[in-house]
Amino acid sequence: MRSSFASRLAWSAYTVAQAAMESRIPWDSTESLLRRQNRRVRRIIRFAWEHVPFYRREMVARGLHPEDFRSAADLDLLPLIDGQIYARNPHLFQPQDALPTAGLVLQSSGTSGSTKQLRHDRRSLLLALAHGHRQRHVLAHFTGRVTGYRELNLVRDGSVASQIRSFYEDHLWTPRRVDLTRVVLTPGELPLDAEIARINDFMPDVLMGYGSYLGALFLSAARRGLIIHRPKAAVYGADSMPAPDRAYLETELGIPVISTYQSTEALRIGFQCELRRGLHVSIDAVAVRIADAGGRTVPPGQPGDVIISNLTNRATVLLNYRLGDVAVFGSEPCPCGRTLPVIDSLEGRSDDLIHLADGRSLHALQVMRRLRTASSVERIQVVQQDHQSFSILAVDAGLPDRKAASSALVAELSSLTGSHPSISVEWVDALPAGANGKTRLVISNLRS
């Protein structure tokens, strides 16, 4: 439902004030960032204790009080939760009284096809919009302006990004001169040449979409001799972009590629700066730690599970929550000068696993590294039917010898699994995307 004009103006004023502050926060001193973070930790803990059944119950059971939480490091006193625990009883994570201003119920389809619902209150949604200015300042480096540029979004209709965008359109009033001009297209809905014609007509400064789609789009165009307008920057979030696609866009076409880190649970988690070396984490809004399988925090440089605490959303309170991604914190500050810490690499989903008959599991990245090196094929998807049968989908990007590559893929996967499974190789033009628009490297149909 659309807000009244007065309400839209009031919330716009709030967002504009926040956005003004946002432009300096990434360069604040670490002490000042941590002070901001700690203040939000104490506030959300107090709120959870007073109004949110799950946290009230768990804190009482552990003999904890709000005073025991002074900083983000104390959040691991709370039980480690994940999407499954949340999905069993979502209402336990919502306040039972003292309801925050109504916002939006985000619907997201997970990789397994199940639907997840998450409530966000209005203030936290608008703070996320203000946080977006951290990324806009990075984009301005390439487009030359913070507002008024042309952006084309290639996102699926009904995606989390489009639900959030409609919310902003309904609840904010933005003067045309400071807004950006945006066109939205559903990837793959039009035939390739028609999609390219739309892009060429609009001439976007910024092209946004799925990492698995953007590179593939430019590569398919090149194979068919079609010319696409070159934007000043390409931005993707939600999934990853294969390394050769990124190299093609950056080196061959001269289009800088910038990634962002977002989730339905915490909205904006991180963004890449102009140097594009890692992802700066907005720790003032989302506390992030990297932990081992037992939930213990690991030092920078070591990979582990991403555990987040959303410090701003009161409509669904999620603290010490395993997001399902695997990442590594960098140990050096970024040379760009921003003090927000950097995730060096986001290594994919922790549930992208192949399950072996002997009980071991192989992570998607481990499998991909080996298969790519052995076959020189970069774009591969492995689908596991059961312990003994796999199919490999591979994209032939001008290979000299497809048959040799097929044999190499089969031999390498057999050796990785340590058994003699039946493996089929199918050559395709592009890897299929899942129901949520993302392409996964490994899909296991085995129930682990």
Residue 393 CA to residue 244 CA, distance in Å, equals: 17
- Smallest separation, CB 428 to Zn ion (Å): 37
358 alpha carbon, distance to own chain's centre: 33
- Across the chain, how many H-helices and E-strands are there? 11, 20
CB of 443 to Zn ion, least distance (A): 34
Q: Shortest Cβ distance from residue 331 to Zn ion (Å)?
A: 14
Select 19 or 334, whichever has its Cβ closest to Zn ion. 334
Single-letter residue type at 88: R
Report 338-377 residues binding Zn ion (CB under 5 A): 338
Rounded CA-CA distance 207/232 in Å is 8
Contact 138, 271 (CB under 8 A): yes
Nearest to 359 by CA among 419, 311, 310: 419
Residue in this structure with the two tokens 């946290």, named with its chain if needed: 55
- Whichever of 278 and 437 has its CB closer to Zn ion, that residue is 278
Q: How far is the CB of 234 from Zn ion (least distance, A)?
A: 18
Residues 264-303 that bind Zn ion (CB under 5 A): 273
Total binding residues toward Zn ion, as defined by CB under 5 A: 4
Residue reference for tokens 């591979």 = 394
Write the burial class of residue 101 (CB in 10 Å: 0-12 exposed, 13-18 middle, 19+ buried). middle
Report the nearest approach of Zn ion to the CB of residue 134 (Å).
11
**Helices of type H across 321-435:** 364-375, 402-417
35-94 residues in contact with Zn ion (CB under 5 A) are: none
∠ CA 208-211-217, nearest 5°, is 80
d(CA 397, CA 432): 16
Using the minimum distance from each CB to Zn ion, give the nearer residue, 271 or 390: 271
Residue (334 or 377) nearer to Zn ion, CB: 334
Q: Indicate the residue among 241 and 336 with the shorter CB distance to Zn ion.
A: 336
Nearer residue to Zn ion within complex by CB, 135 or 212: 135
Per CB under 5 A, which of residues 297..336 are in contact with Zn ion? 334, 336
- Asked whether position 138 contacts Zn ion by CB under 5 A, the answer is no
Q: Which is nearer to Zn ion, 273 or 395 (CB)?
A: 273
Residue 258 is a binding residue for Zn ion (CB under 5 A): no
Supply the minimum distance, in Å, between the C-beta of residue 139 and Zn ion: 14
**Residue 448 C-beta-side C-alpha neighbours within 13 Å:** 14
Q: Measured between alpha carbons, how far is 393 from 417 in angstroms, rounded to an integer? A: 17
Measured CA to CA, the distance from residue 202 to residue 43 in angstroms comes to: 45
Q: Min. distance of Cβ 340 from Zn ion in angstroms?
A: 8
d(CA 257, CA 9): 34
Least distance (Å) from Zn ion to the CB of residue 265? 24
Nearest distance in Å: CB 267, Zn ion: 21
Are residues 278 and 330 in contact, defined by beta-carbon separation less than 8 angstroms?
yes
Tell me the chain's radius of gyration from C-alpha atoms. 23
Residues that bind Zn ion in the complex, under the rule CB under 5 A: 273, 334, 336, 338
